[in-house]
């Protein structure tokens, strides 16, 4: 968690200082890859992944969103397939740094780009699954408290659970999702609306 807080802060400060620039994303990805091979792998790969996502966003904003037809889709699909083939071709006993770079910098961002580009054909595509994306931040924040609560309660009651059993994984995921739904609708969504109104009002006041 401490590494993630550091990455969030670093990503915010870089974006605030230099704005949305593709070259900055590439530089920070290079820095992250270098750090991953110099005893700070957690921070390095986190930095690499953050700015790989930023790069995918900028490419889509500047090219994919306004493009018509299949070029953005084919670009993303081709990049994802080539990255996956390269990872498979380099397969060994474990993931090498190059394979990790292709996974976090090729497969994952191109998949996100691909899904966004598909929506150019139909803005309603995937709307039925929108809630899954909406609650991801809540599930991310709540999964550890749920885990900790289960461990503390079962330990206090002297109950031994086999956490390798798939049944417990399904029950755990179901519990996290059930808690995340009201958290999103009752807290996160109202907070988003409040903050948007606050900053819009503040910008309007400063402009007048």
Distance CA 134, CA 189 (A): 9
pLDDT in tens, 96-151: 888 888 888 999 999 989 888 888 777 666 677 788 889 998 998 899 999 999 99
Domain shared by 134 and 120, yes or no: no
Q: Where are the alpha helices (DSSP H) in 62-188?
A: 71-89, 97-102, 108-118, 130-134, 136-157, 166-183
Domain shared by 88 and 149, yes or no: no
In degrees and rounded to multiples of 5, residue 33 shows phi and psi of -65, -40
Query: How many domains does one find in the chain?
Result: 2
Domain shared by 21 and 93, yes or no: yes
Structural domain boundaries, residue 114: 2-125
Query: Which among 125, 144, 165 is the end of a domain?
Result: 125
Domain shared by 111 and 135, yes or no: no
Domain shared by 150 and 194, yes or no: yes
Query: Which among 90, 125, 160 is the end of a domain?
Result: 125
Query: Which among 67, 95, 125 is the end of a domain?
Result: 125
Domain shared by 135 and 198, yes or no: yes
Distance CA 154, CA 81 (A): 45
Domain shared by 39 and 115, yes or no: yes
Domain shared by 25 and 99, yes or no: yes
Report percent pLDDT > 90 for the chain. Answer: 35
Domain shared by 118 and 61, yes or no: yes
Domain shared by 121 and 141, yes or no: no
Q: What is the pTM of this model?
A: 0.69
Alpha carbon separation from 194 to 149, 183, 191 (Å, rounded): 31, 16, 5
pLDDT in tens, 170-204: 999 999 999 999 999 999 999 999 999 988 888 78
Radius of gyration for the alpha carbons in the chain, expressed in angstroms and rounded = 21
């Amino acid at each position: 968690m401490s590494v993630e807080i550091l990455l969030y802060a670093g990503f915010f400060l870089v974006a605030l200082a230099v704005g949305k620039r593709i070259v900055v994303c590439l530089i920070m990805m290079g820095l992250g890859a270098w750090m991953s091979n110099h005893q700070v792998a957690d921070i390095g790969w986190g930095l690499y992944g953050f700015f790989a996502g930023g790069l995918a966003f900028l490419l889509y904003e500047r090219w994919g969103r306004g493009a018509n037809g299949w070029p953005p889709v084919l670009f993303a699909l081709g990049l994802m397939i080539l990255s996956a083939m390269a990872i498979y071709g380099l397969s060994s006993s474990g993931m090498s740094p190059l394979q990790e770079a292709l996974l976090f910098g090729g497969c994952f961002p191109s998949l996100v780009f691909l899904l966004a580009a598909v929506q150019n054909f139909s803005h309603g595509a995937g709307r039925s699954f929108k809630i899954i994306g909406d609650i991801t931040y809540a599930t991310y924040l709540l999964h550890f408290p749920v885990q900790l609560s289960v461990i503390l309660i079962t330990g206090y009651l002297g109950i031994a659970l086999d956490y390798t059993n798939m049944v417990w994984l399904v029950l755990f995921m179901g519990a996290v999702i059930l808690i995340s739904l009201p958290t999103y609708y009752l807290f996160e969504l109202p907070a988003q609306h409040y903050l948007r109104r606050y900053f819009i009002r503040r910008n309007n006041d400063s402009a007048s």
